[in-house]
Amino acid sequence: MEALFVNLAAVLSGWLTSLGLSPIWADTVLLFVKWIIVITIITLNIIILIWLERKVSAFFQERLGPNRLGPFGIFQTIADAIKLLTKEDIVPSAADKLIFKTAPMFFIVVAVMLYTVIPMGQGMEVINLNIGLLFFISIGSLSTIALLMAGWGSNNKWSLMGAVRSVAQMVSYEIPLAFSLLGVVMISGSLNLQDIVAAQGKLWFIILQPIAFITYFIAATAELNRGPFDMPEAEQELTGGAYTEYTGMRWALFFLAEYTNLVAVSALMATVFLGGWQGPWLPSWLWIIIKTYGVILVFFWVKWTFPRIRMDHLMSFSWKVLVPVSLGNILLTGAGIYFCRWMGWC
């Protein structure tokens, strides 16, 4: 079971070469196959996730949640997807059409790109990039531009306010996000995510880097625009923020992208802090799924419990609390590494 997918890939690659393709072309085809698989997983995942979030929030709020279509309402999301696909696509007449239309595509492309580097199991990643972590952070921050495009293109005050807030928020939270991951990089000595997983063979980084874990979790919540930091969306204040003017499938793309981001960030969290795909008994690809869903459930829990934070508090929290704390954590980690070497433990 462990090497199921790796073996499948090897078989496919062998078959392609036997057909007479040169190894380079076989690799290229294989890359596309991997991409298609990743995208399928993402889509399926999101169908489950949306259903799960509705069920989980219903549980928190003592409601039933979706329960009509299929067992436990599992097909509700599919029905919703069909509805959204068939809805009228409205583009406001005053909108900047090009920007308005490309924003959701840009958002989802950025979100899907994040999956390139995440190790889904032992030897299972689309590309084994040696700057994987850096790639993840830099691609992740691109989604700000998509939100700004959506807000600007809509030509609506609410959308623009949502976009401006999202830029301010994401730029501010980018810094503690990156800083909190630096501690891990210092200990493992690598930006390659597979190396970081391997470095957690004995001890998960959540134990070595508890402060970084907490700051990363908070910063990631803000990066994902999830409650209590869902300022750019803020249905009750900004009537949907940057997404106000979007309908049908364009809106659904934003929605999909948000969940795609959620899975990616949770998977990264599992990889960097929770030992990645490592675990006893079960195959590695199942472990990463279990850990990712565990993190996602915590995100759900936080969102459905907390009220929304105020914009100025949000900013001051980032600059006055998270940034100093994560900087302090880097200092502490460095001192710890020197101490460890001096004692001859590592």
Binding positions for other proteins, rule: CB under 8 A? 57, 60-63, 157-158, 161, 227-228, 230, 234-237, 239, 304-313
The pair of three-digit structure tokens given for residue 145, joined into one six-digit string: 């531009």
- Smallest gap from residue 217 Cβ to other proteins (A): 16
Q: Rank residues 21 and 311 by Cβ distance to other proteins and give the closer one.
A: 311
Report how far residue 50's alpha carbon sits from residue 47's, in angstroms, rounded to the nearest whole number: 6
Q: Which is nearer to other proteins, 51 or 158 (CB)?
A: 158
For residue 60, the Cα-to-chain-centroid distance in whole angstroms is: 23
C-alpha radius of gyration, the chain, whole number: 21
Nearer to other proteins, 26 or 234 (CB): 234
Residue 53: CB atoms within 10 A of its CB come to: 20
Burial 87-99 (b: 16+ CB within 10 A, else e): eeeeebeebeeeb
DSSP structure class, residue 307: P
DSSP H/E element including 121: none
Q: Is the peptide bond before 228 cis (omega within 30 degrees of 0)?
A: yes
- The Cα 171–Cα 221 span in angstroms is 13
Q: Which is nearer to other proteins, 72 or 306 (CB)?
A: 306
Minimum distance from CB of 164 to other proteins (Å)? Answer: 9
Cβ nearer to other proteins, comparing 205 with 300: 300
Nearest-approach distance from CB 151 to other proteins, in angstroms = 14
Task: Give min distance, CB of 239 to other proteins, in A.
Answer: 6
Residue showing tokens 């531009």:
145
The two three-digit tokens of residue 287, written as one number: 């472990």
Least Å distance, CB 240 to other proteins, is 9
Closer residue to other proteins, CB minimum distance, 117 or 231: 231
Q: How far is the CB of 303 from other proteins (least distance, A)?
A: 9
